[in-house]
């Protein structure tokens, strides 16, 4: 009997010990999971701090992780190094990087593989204003960088380059890459902004940055575009009209509403911006003869949006194209001297505004920018 009691005691001790070990193991696993999961995410997702990090040539993965921990970008060099090894991440580029504690390990890794600013290399900048056409981009590239206008135009029309960019940004370029009715497939797809570059940057890298920036601007709108009756290509086309027709961002929101109303009714948009693009040159004023130019881009001659964008729109114009102000306006005109835009619900009211605010120059053109024909009511 004593022996049996002793056995039961031993079994009880073993059971308790095993239970404690299981609990401890579970606690360890759960704690480890939360620790790793937390470490994989941003150190501080709310941080807006920018930390300049220098990665010297030939730095190993473990040393990169240590540098990032020392600079305060990540919490744990051990976790990040383990992450890199488990995912077999490599091909990191030396350079100077602007990082933030709000970046996840994946974002940091992608950034390091993309490449930062080369160490010790002087940088320069160039600026492309909003609403510029591709050929105007070429002029700036030719004047501000080591590349010529011809090299730029050759690249942006190179099918292999376009298809490669479409693979990188399928949501942005998937449609336009397969079109053959546009003057330039990449018209409207290079974002207008200020860019840094070095003499070591290839032209492909420079243009790729512009496309990447446009993708970043369009991406937040993708779900809304998908839920609408428009494609990304059509939204960029509409935004390019809005960009040049509007004077202020508030005007552009209402102008977008006008264009949406006209499209819904099957009316021609009759935007001067499409005419100047069809003519192949930018001009503030157009004549009645200009309106007759034979081109699929001429929205005085054709309904719908036309083949594609006619310039590179700003983020505000893209937002306006996606989110128009709802009104009953069908017409508008702008006085270029006063910078005032006048909206009308009826053609009769539109004509009154024309007589009141637009002054004839005597050569068939007028001092003001309008969107409708002046001699007869547009066909619907």
Give the whole-angstrom CA distance, residue 271 versus residue 303: 11
Q: Is the pTM of this model over 0.75?
A: no
Residue labelled with tokens 């992450």? 83
Amino acid 333: pLDDT: 87
Amino acid 27: pLDDT: 66
Q: Which CATH superfamily is domain 51-114 in?
A: Endolytic murein transglycosylase (3.30.1490.480)
The DSSP secondary-structure symbol of 360 reads: B
Instruction: Return the sign of the alpha-carbon dihedral for residues 175, 266, 181, 315.
Output: negative
Give the whole-angstrom CA distance, residue 46 versus residue 8: 57
pLDDT, one tens digit per residue, over 35-55 is 555 556 788 888 888 898 989
Residue labelled with tokens 């194209």? 321
Q: What is the number of alpha carbons within 13 Å of residue 137 lying toward its C-beta?
A: 31
Nearest to residue 214, comparing CAs of 256, 270, 166, 254? 166
Amino acid 163: pLDDT: 94
Amino acid 294: pLDDT: 84
pLDDT, one tens digit per residue, over 108-137 is 999 999 887 766 667 889 999 999 999 999
Q: How many CB atoms lie within 10 A of CB 128?
A: 20
Contact 93, 113 (CB under 8 A): yes
DSSP one-letter string for 317-373? HHHHHHSPPP----EEEEETTTTEEEEESSHHHHHHHHHHH--B-SSS-BSSEESS-
Amino acid 170: pLDDT: 94
The phi, psi pair for 94, rounded to 5°, reads: -70, 155
Nearest to residue 239, comparing CAs of 191, 198, 199? 191
Amino acid 25: pLDDT: 75
Nearest to residue 214, comparing CAs of 248, 240, 189? 189
Amino acid 142: pLDDT: 96
pLDDT beneath 50, residues of the chain:
1-2, 360-380
Amino acid 67: pLDDT: 94
């Amino acid at each position: 009997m004593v022996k049996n009691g002793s056995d039961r005691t031993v079994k009880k001790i073993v059971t308790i010990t095993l239970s404690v070990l299981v609990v401890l193991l579970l606690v360890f696993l759960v704690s480890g999971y939360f620790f790793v999961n937390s470490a994989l995410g941003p150190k501080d997702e709310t941080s807006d701090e920018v930390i300049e990090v220098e990665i010297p040539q030939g730095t190993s993965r473990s040393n990169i992780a240590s540098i990032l921990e020392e600079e305060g970008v990540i919490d744990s060099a051990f976790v990040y190094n383990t992450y890199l090894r488990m995912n077999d991440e490599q091909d990191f580029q030396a350079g100077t990087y602007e990082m933030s504690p709000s970046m996840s390990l994946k974002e940091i890794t992608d950034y390091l593989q993309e490449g930062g600013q080369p160490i010790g290399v002087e940088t320069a900048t160039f600026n492309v204003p909003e609403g510029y056409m591709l050929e105007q981009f070429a002029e700036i590239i030719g004047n501000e960088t080591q590349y010529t206008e011809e090299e730029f135009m050759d690249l942006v029309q190179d099918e292999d380059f376009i298809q490669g960019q479409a693979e990188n940004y399928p949501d942005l370029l998937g449609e336009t890459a397969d079109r053959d009715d546009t003057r330039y497939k990449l018209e409207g797809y290079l974002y207008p902004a200020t860019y840094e570059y070095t003499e070591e940057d290839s032209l492909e890298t420079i243009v790729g940055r512009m496309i990447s920036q446009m993708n970043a601007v369009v991406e937040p709108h993708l779900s809304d575009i998908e839920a609408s009756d428009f494609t990304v290509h059509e939204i960029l086309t509409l935004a390019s009209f809005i960009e040049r027709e509007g004077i202020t961002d508030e005007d552009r929101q209402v102008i977008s509403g006008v264009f949406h109303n006209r499209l819904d009714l099957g009316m021609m948009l009759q935007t001067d911006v499409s005419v100047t693009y069809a003519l192949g040159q930018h001009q503030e004023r157009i004549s009645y003869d200009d309106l007759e130019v034979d081109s699929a881009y001429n929205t005085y001659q054709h309904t719908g949006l036309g083949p594609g964008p006619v310039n590179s729109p700003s983020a505000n114009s893209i937002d306006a194209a996606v989110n128009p102000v709802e009104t009953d306006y069908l017409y508008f005109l702008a006085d270029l001297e006063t910078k005032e835009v006048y909206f009308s619900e009826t053609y009769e009211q539109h004509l009154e505004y024309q007589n009141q605010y637009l002054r004839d120059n005597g050569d068939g053109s007028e001092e003001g920018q309008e969107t409708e024909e002046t001699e007869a009511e547009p066909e619907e």
